[in-house]
Amino acid sequence: MAHGEGDPGVFTATALPGDPRLLPTVTNAFLGTRVFRDILHAAGVYSGAAGDTHRADVPSPLGLRMAAPGAHCPAQSFTLDTWTGTFSHTIQCPGYTATHQLYAHHSLVHLMAFSITVRRLDSSTHPVTVQLQSLFVPQSQDLDLTPGPGFQGAHYIYGQTLVPEVEGGPRPTVHMLWTPIPQSLTLGGEERERCWEFLAAVAGSEEEAKRSYSAGLALVAAGSLHRSHIRAWAALRRGCSVELDGPPALRQALHGCLYYLLSAVPPQDSPGVPFHGISPGGLSNGTRGEDYWGHVFWDQDTWVFPNILLLYPAAARAVLQYRLRTLEGARRNAQEQGYEGAKFPWESAATGREVCPEEIYGAQEIHVSGDVLMAFEQYYCTTQDQQLFREDGGWELVEAVAQYWCSRMEWSEEEQLYHIRGVMPPDEYHSQVDNSAFTNAVARRSLNFAAALARDLLLPVPEEWEDRARKIKVPFDEERKYHPEYDGYSPGEPVKQADVVLLGFPLMHPMSAEVRRNDLEMYEPVTDPAGPAMTWSMFAVGWLELKELQRARSQLGVWVENSDGSGAVNFLTGMGGFLQVILFGFTGFRITRSGLLFDPAFPDDITKLNISGVSYLGNKLGVTITREETRMEVTETCWDPPASALEAVLESGQRFPLREGQSISFPTAPGWIQRSPGRTP
């Protein structure tokens, strides 16, 4: 879709893409659909056993098209407004306009709604009729659905998924209430304008479906259903605002990415609704055979999570709680492969058991457990939320992953180092390799974090964790001064996607600028240009680190998974990578145990970056960066638990206390934000 004239947050087109997979989606934390589609999905509702597990198709009464009877090719427009989280289709006919609006309610997460508004443009008095073309049939290939008694004018169906993910496991139940949809709507001769509103409530229990439907009806009666959604969505957007002064296409991509990413996370006031993870194609996609069937990968933890954490730590906590809820499944995975601790699945659905259809990935692409733990580490460093680790199961997960890594390593007498053999690295063109640089480096980071966290929690630190972290092999070529991807890698061998370049960021594996550059130079030309979109964002971050600004600028792109249009669409992983270029690349933000580092760098065509809601140690900061000046201000301070007082420290040694409501500025230069010694906020 083209962007709205002058507004990068509004996408408008006069025709829809030919490929229906590219249609916009409307999603909240629990429900999602693609516009004009006859199915929707509910979070955590999967059908099918093991590798056949996929999002269950729920029939959608929302997938209708509006048409003007007899009108000869009326003017049409289609708009996705990322400021209001609303999709609209408008038909302009002689004498009237008809507008169809569709949205997933942001705060009432079990509710989706659409409205049809017909407005007269002249003084005529003849009735105006629009047709509603619906594909809705209350049946599903994945659910055993039964009609129930109507409720407050709504139709009602309910039923269970057909096949559990694991034998004897639960089969989720879906309850749906919806406003009956007529074949046409008519604006009476005496009416100037009229709006009809339609609801669909979907939940795991009859009680919740009815409660959500009733709440929606009450808001319709008060004339504020859409307004209440816009208000909740706008509050989230305000708290997570990222703006840049630069090319319109880049600003548009930024708003599009924020829309899709923020649509995927829980709202601020829904603590009782469990979160079910983020899959590469989002909740709207993932039917059988589509967009990885709605499974959750490392994409969530490595590519999407850091952005959510920086802007919205409460939602980041919910993402981690998804992994905590699936820990028992991860323990079973490790046990079945003959190892200790917990091995998170390459593809995860509701239970944490491996649901990848192809065995090789689940058996060999084991770096995912370290990726999960890195998300926990980043969260801990950013929030110091000890409750998650002491009381809510976080420590048990950290300990289990550390145990897994220890049991997965073997001692090499020859090299006097620990090896991890027989893996597939992130570069999926290679399998059954020994000592993947990324896998071993992420295992080392897991063990170092587990030891440091144990000390913070005053728990005993197993000696083997630190010993193995010190002695695990991370391949390094002393002659060429670069990291071979694995034992026996030959320079020039093609690579599918970002792999070794991830050692620099996000892993922050210790290395000199020379080695960082050599890794980028070695792998950029041999990485498959048709590989996944998020790859190039990590090269961009690397070049920004080295202040190679134009090389970084050439690496930005996101919307579908692969450059040939195949793979996942509205590819959240690629969008997560793109946002990391802005939130971590342009700013130089790096999350460490001692502080939040910064070292800004922009390509030439970007002049200013403004982030309104950087969260750090219980504070919200507004950060504005230009080439010449950086400005920071604490805009909000949490009092329960009390936030840490902060200060900005430049590498030159200058210190600036960060106090709520007081803006500080300094010439743009590297430094860090840290706890202020001996000061309360």
Distance CA(445)–CA(114), nearest Å, equals: 48
- The one-letter amino acid code at 360 reads I
Q: Which helix (H) or strand (E) holds 374?
A: helix 367-383
Report the C-alpha gap between 573 and 567 in whole angstroms.
Answer: 12
The 10 Å CB-count burial string (b at 16+, else e) for 64-78 is bebebeeeeeeebeb
Going by C-alpha positions, the residue among 37, 36, 53, 55 that lies closest to residue 45 is 55
Which of 663, 647, 646 minimizes the C-alpha distance to 655? 647
Write a three-state SS string for 29-45.
CCEEEECCCCEEEECCC
CA 432 to chain centre: 30
Cα–Cα nearest to 105, from 258, 233, 11: 233
Distance of alpha carbon 134 from alpha carbon 323, whole angstroms: 38
Provide the β-strand partners of residue 12.
Answer: 2, 79
Helix (H, G, I), strand (E, B) or coil at 54: strand
Assign 69 to helix, strand or coil: coil
Catalytic residues: 428
For 4, the enclosing helix (H) or strand (E) is strand 2-4
Is there a cis peptide before residue 74, judged by omega within 30 degrees of 0?
Answer: no
- DSSP codes joined into one string, 531-564: S-THHHHHHHHHHHHTT-HHHHHTT---SBSSTT
Query: What does the alpha-carbon distance between residue 92 and residue 99 come to, in Å, rounded to a whole number?
Result: 9
Closest of 85, 104, 79, 88 to residue 10, by C-alpha: 79
Torsion angle of alpha carbons 343, 347, 350, 354, nearest 10°?
-50
Question: What does the block give as tokens for 41?
Answer: 């999905």
Q: In what order do the strands lie in the sheet with 184-187?
A: 65-67, 128-133, 184-187
